[in-house]
Structure 1
Amino acid sequence: MTISQQKVYLDIVEQIRTIIDEDNLQPGDKMPSERELSARLEVGRSSVREALRALELVGLIETKRGEGTFLKDFRGNHLIHLLGTFILQRKEAKDDLIATKMLIEREAIKQACQRSKNETFVEIKELVEKKIEEASSVDLYSLFFSKIVESTGNFLLYRIWDIINEYFYSLRIELDEEKSRSVMRQLYEAIAMKDEQHALQQYENVLTLFHMEG
């Protein structure tokens, strides 16, 4: 594939993504047919077919024989497996991905201390109180930061964090159960008090309790 062909190909993929947004398609919804996409994009059906194959390859859409093509939940796609198989075999890449996760979580803590709404804290408090005894510490950590990152209101940031966190989950992770529960509670309380410096310190304390392999 030449550079010019690749650019056209990527443009078609991007335009299909735009159509998904414009049509407000949700996971499980049926995609426009090849014929309709070809007409809307004013490109050949063979080009549309290749772009759809690429989207299906990474699990973003699925084709059901005799029914059509449907949008899938991006969280159920093969992206994490592809990362693990090809990209993340290098230790440096794994370290970079985890570092990115930590950067997002630190920024989310800062924003939560500065401008989170009261209802966000109510949800987080209920989560901490409900899960702090029954959930594993790793699960509690993930649920907690899912709420914190979501509270930033930055959907793109949340989606990036969610994908990275799924990979993080695939590692062999251990977290000191007793110590982490206490620190997680202190982290929540610091955020609730909007004490950014103390919250960030408690976050660093949580990180020291992680033991990871892989």
Structure 2
Amino acid sequence: MSRGRDSLQTIARVPRSQLVREQLREAIDRGDFGPGEALPSERELVETFQVSRVSVREAIRSLEAIGYVEVHQGRGSFVTKGPADEYIDAFARWLAVHKEEVMDLLKVRGALDELAAEGAAQRADESAMNRFRQAHDAFSSAAQEPEPKLDRLVQLDIAFHQAIAEASGSTLLIHLLQDLNQHLGESRKITLAPSGRPAKSAAEHAAIVRAINARRPAEAKRAVATHLAAVRTAVSDFEAMRAAVADPPVVPVS
């Protein structure tokens, strides 16, 4: 007996931002926009695609997360070379297996980093202050390089957060974060690989440093929470973008 209409399925609604992102990604892949070239302005994209500014901004943010574009405030969005394909493919395979574990570990890391920053703001002596300032300067300098070395960025990022843990004076936090960082190396590569992300991490680090220097524990905790929220978003955006690249949306023909 024929299943008839029971075999038919509702066509999934595809977010407009996803359709915009895919068209832009395909244009970049074709070479319509080369490295260093600016994409059309937000207003032009709104008019071209007949979508809202919100949809355009979400599409650009997704492309930035995977390293297709770099956004310069007040200047626009520019095509980048993006992370090397071997990095992207390796990260995608790794994340497909470890996504749930990574997100759980990042939540734990966030809680521990917040406690460390709070403790550092309350108890760090001048010697400890100097060490995490130097760690911040080292990461910030590396992040500003034209083509930052990913492995070096990861090590400098770990060193910065570990210096804050040491400044807190808590032996327990120091050891817990040391152990945790052994499991988060690959996730750090995912978050630091997209073009422009190292500089943003450096800016987030700077906010943490300012709060600790000012001896403001609550502000230091908030700065860490903001930073780790951005890290978790970067991981989620990476996974979503790679899934879309592997299985782009099908646009119904009207």
Scaled by the length of structure 1, the TM-score of the pair is 0.51
Corresponding residue to 2:127 among 110, 119, 126: 119
Alignment match, 2:212? 191
Corresponding residue to 1:159 among 159, 175, 181: 175
CA RMSD after TM alignment? 2.6
Alignment match, 1:100? 108
Distance 1:195 1:90, change over 3 A: same
One-letter identity of the residue aligned with 1:142: I
Query: Residue by residue, what CA displacement relative to the aligned partner does 1:100-129 show, whole Å, maximum 9, x if unpaired?
Result: 211111100111111111111111122222
Is the partner of 2:122 in helix, strand or coil? helix
The answer on whether the counterparts of 1:98 and 1:164 sit within 8 Å (CA) in structure 2 is no
The answer on whether the counterparts of 1:132 and 1:140 sit within 8 Å (CA) in structure 2 is no
Higher relative CO (Cα under 8 Å, sequence separation at least 6) belongs to 2
Instruction: Using the aligned pairs only, state the percent identity.
Output: 21
Query: Residue by residue, what CA displacement relative to the aligned partner does 1:163-211 show, whole Å, maximum 9, x if unpaired?
Result: 2111111335223122221221121011111112322222222223322
Query: Residue by residue, what CA displacement relative to the aligned partner does 1:47-104 show, whole Å, maximum 9, x if unpaired?
Result: xxxxxxxxxxxxxxxxxxxxxxxxxxxxxxxxxxxxxxxxxx6755443322221111
Structure whose residues are more often strand by fraction: 1
The answer on whether the counterparts of 1:97 and 1:164 sit within 8 Å (CA) in structure 2 is yes
Is the partner of 1:167 in helix, strand or coil? coil
The answer on whether the counterparts of 2:132 and 2:160 sit within 8 Å (CA) in structure 1 is yes
Alignment match, 1:58? none
Distance (whole Å) between structure 2 residues aligned to residue 93 and residue 180 of structure 1: 22
The answer on whether the counterparts of 2:117 and 2:221 sit within 8 Å (CA) in structure 1 is yes
Scaled by the length of structure 2, the TM-score of the pair is 0.44
Is the partner of 2:120 in helix, strand or coil? helix
Question: Structure 1: 5+ residue runs without aligned partners?
Answer: 1-88
Alignment match, 1:25? none
Alignment match, 1:174? 191
Distance (whole Å) between structure 1 residues aligned to residue 138 and residue 98 of structure 2: 38
Alignment of 1:42-57 (within 5 A): none
Query: Residue by residue, what CA displacement relative to the aligned partner does 1:7-50 show, whole Å, maximum 9, x if unpaired?
Result: xxxxxxxxxxxxxxxxxxxxxxxxxxxxxxxxxxxxxxxxxxxx
One-letter identity of the residue aligned with 1:204: A
Distance 1:93 1:179, change over 3 A: closer
